[in-house]
């Protein structure tokens, strides 16, 4: 009987192709939105955990100013650190390695080509602390760093812009007044947690940047790798204590610096993610509701149009239940069709979005199954009322209907 009802439903849907399509459009849009949203959301949270993994979960970032979240460089007005702070912290047994960092936006010129990029000044330990490696050439040495010699490392994006695929090692690039010798090429790293291009970078000794580009002795960030066998908490409290002493903060004063570990950043990013997808999902839910009402509307029209057919069916011995089943199956078939198309459209949209946002494409079978089940549910809920109306018809009246 159910199989028969499905056959009938399929026939009636095919008979009214355009109407069926318009009817299920709301469901298609709703399901597609949910699927696209969740798929992109899961992809980006996987991206976040991957980038945290890459950074290492034992990395702490020390910034001047109160605790606040945001992309690097969004720090407040509090006193910056100096290289002496970094040196003091390096002496702590809880600290494995650290890299003081200063950044500056500059244009890098080589021959006719130029690239606007981010210059990162740090110590030779920077590569180790940030889990980065070189594709070619060598790192700059502590001696070069101390002397502030004009040497630098190019990121892949800058290298592409300036030299194409050619080997940049040994070449000279100009940054403002500095003629800087390229000694190494950074390995490709890809997009960061905020979607920024991490390869769009030039690294140089911190003292060179301070003297020749910034003109001061400030350090904006210190990235710290916790020593082996020491917990992030232990290291945090040791670093906090040293920094409070060095910045002469009395007991009643709050920290004027912040210490963030990567796990925290990941949590924060993921929560932003889930708020966003929750918001969009509720929009999608409204769309599903509207889609369901659309199905109800069309089913009511269909029941009225087919009054005579219902009368005939009742006369030849269909029970009210069988008539109910027939119309319910039809509305479920409609909404399921909408759901299936929506799933396909949503996955396609997510696929395109993932490619653009350079995040992994994660199709979760549970979500797809859920969307499938939910669209069936919409069909049952919104199909029930019209189906009941059909089932409750008086056969005599229905047969008389013109």
Give dist(CA 224, CA 99) in Å, integer. Answer: 6
Give the count of beta carbons closer than 10 Å to the beta carbon of residue 197.
17
> What character string, x for contact with other proteins (CB under 8 A) and - otherwise, covers 254-293?
----------------------------------------
Give dist(CA 53, CA 77) in Å, integer. Answer: 31
Shortest Å, Cβ 309 to other proteins:
6
Give the count of beta carbons closer than 10 Å to the beta carbon of residue 14.
9
Our CB check for other proteins shows the closer of 229 and 317 to be: 317
Shortest Å, Cβ 310 to other proteins:
11
Our CB check for other proteins shows the closer of 162 and 333 to be: 333
Query: Is 355 among the residues that bind other proteins (CB under 8 A)?
Result: no
Those residues with Cβ within 8 angstroms of residue 84's Cβ, 6 or more apart along the chain or in another chain: 246
Shortest Å, Cβ 15 to other proteins:
7
Using CB under 8 A as the binding criterion, the count of chain residues that bind other proteins stands at 20
Instruction: State phi, psi for 164 to the nearest 5 degrees.
Output: 65, -135
Shortest Å, Cβ 1 to other proteins:
7
- Which residue in 316, 356, 365, 366 binds other proteins (CB under 8 A)? 316
Query: Is 304 among the residues that bind other proteins (CB under 8 A)?
Result: no
Part of the chain binding other proteins (CB under 8 A), chosen from 94-102, 153-161, 284-292, 320-328: 320-328
Our CB check for other proteins shows the closer of 15 and 77 to be: 15
- Which residue in 227, 318, 357, 380 binds other proteins (CB under 8 A)? 318
Please choose, from the candidates 85, 78, 152, 96, the residue with its C-alpha nearest in 3D space to the C-alpha of residue 122: 152
Give the count of beta carbons closer than 10 Å to the beta carbon of residue 369.
11
Query: Is 315 among the residues that bind other proteins (CB under 8 A)?
Result: yes
Terminal Cα distance for the chain, rounded: 28
Query: Is 2 among the residues that bind other proteins (CB under 8 A)?
Result: no
> What character string, x for contact with other proteins (CB under 8 A) and - otherwise, covers 10-49?
-----x----------------------------------
Give dist(CA 122, CA 210) in Å, integer. Answer: 10
Query: Is 325 among the residues that bind other proteins (CB under 8 A)?
Result: no
Query: Is 309 among the residues that bind other proteins (CB under 8 A)?
Result: yes
Give dist(CA 120, CA 132) in Å, integer. Answer: 14
Query: Is 312 among the residues that bind other proteins (CB under 8 A)?
Result: yes
- Which residue in 319, 348, 352, 360 binds other proteins (CB under 8 A)? 319
Contact 239, 262 (CB under 8 A): no
Query: Is 322 among the residues that bind other proteins (CB under 8 A)?
Result: yes
Part of the chain binding other proteins (CB under 8 A), chosen from 83-91, 264-272, 313-321, 341-349: 313-321
Give dist(CA 337, CA 344) in Å, integer. Answer: 11
328 alpha-carbon distance from chain centroid:
40
Shortest Å, Cβ 370 to other proteins:
34
Part of the chain binding other proteins (CB under 8 A), chosen from 205-213, 247-255, 315-323, 327-335: 315-323
What is the full DSSP assignment across 168-228? -TT-EEEETTEEEEEEEEEPP--B-TTS-BTTSEEEEEHHHIIIIII-S-EE-EEEEEEPT
Burial tier of 384 (Cβ tally within 10 Å: 0-12, 13-18, 19+): middle
Residues that bind other proteins (CB under 8 A): 1, 4, 15, 308-309, 311-322, 395-396, 399
């Amino acid at each position: 009987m159910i199989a028969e009802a499905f056959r009938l439903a399929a026939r009636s849907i095919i008979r009214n192709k355009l109407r069926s399509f318009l009817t299920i459009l709301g469901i298609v849009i709703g399901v597609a939105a949910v699927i696209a949203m969740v798929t992109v959301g899961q992809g980006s949270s996987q991206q976040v955990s991957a980038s945290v993994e890459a950074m290492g979960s034992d990395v702490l970032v020390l910034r001047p100013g109160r605790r606040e979240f945001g992309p690097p460089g969004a720090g407040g007005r509090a006193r910056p650190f100096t290289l002496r702070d970094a040196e003091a912290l390096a002496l702590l047994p809880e600290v494995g390695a650290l890299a003081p960092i200063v950044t500056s936006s500059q244009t890098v010129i080589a021959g006719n080509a130029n690239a606007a990029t981010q210059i990162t000044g740090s110590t030779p330990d920077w590569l180790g602390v940030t889990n980065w490696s070189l594709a070619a050439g060598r790192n700059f040495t502590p001696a070069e760093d101390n002397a502030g010699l004009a040497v630098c490392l190019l990121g892949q994006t800058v290298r592409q812009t300036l030299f194409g695929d050619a080997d940049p090692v040994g070449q000279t690039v100009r940054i403002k007044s500095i003629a800087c010798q390229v000694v190494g090429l950074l390995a490709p790293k890809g997009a960061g947690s905020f979607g920024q291009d991490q390869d769009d970078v030039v690294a140089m000794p911190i003292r060179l940047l301070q003297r020749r580009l910034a003109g001061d002795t400030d350090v904006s960030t210190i990235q710290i790798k916790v020593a082996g066998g020491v917990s992030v908490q232990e290291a945090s409290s040791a670093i906090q204590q040293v920094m409070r002493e060095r910045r002469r903060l009395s007991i009643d004063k709050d920290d004027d610096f912040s210490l963030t570990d990567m796990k925290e950043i990941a949590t924060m990013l993921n929560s932003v993610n889930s708020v966003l997808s929750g918001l969009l999902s509720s929009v999608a839910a409204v769309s599903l509701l509207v889609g369901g009402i659309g199905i109800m509307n069309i089913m009511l029209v269909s029941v009225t149009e087919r009054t005579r057919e219902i009368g005939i069916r009742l006369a030849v011995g269909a029970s009210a239940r069988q008539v109910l089943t027939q119309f319910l199956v039809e509305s479920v078939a409609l909404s399921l069709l909408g759901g299936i198309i929506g799933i396909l459209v949503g996955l396609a949209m997510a696929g395109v979005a993932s490619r653009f946002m350079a995040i992994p494409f994660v199709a979760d079978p549970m979500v797809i199954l859920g969307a499938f089940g939910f669209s069936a549910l919409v069909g049952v809920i919104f199909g029930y009322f019209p189906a009941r109306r059909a089932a409750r018809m008086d056969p005599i009246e229905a047969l008389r209907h013109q």
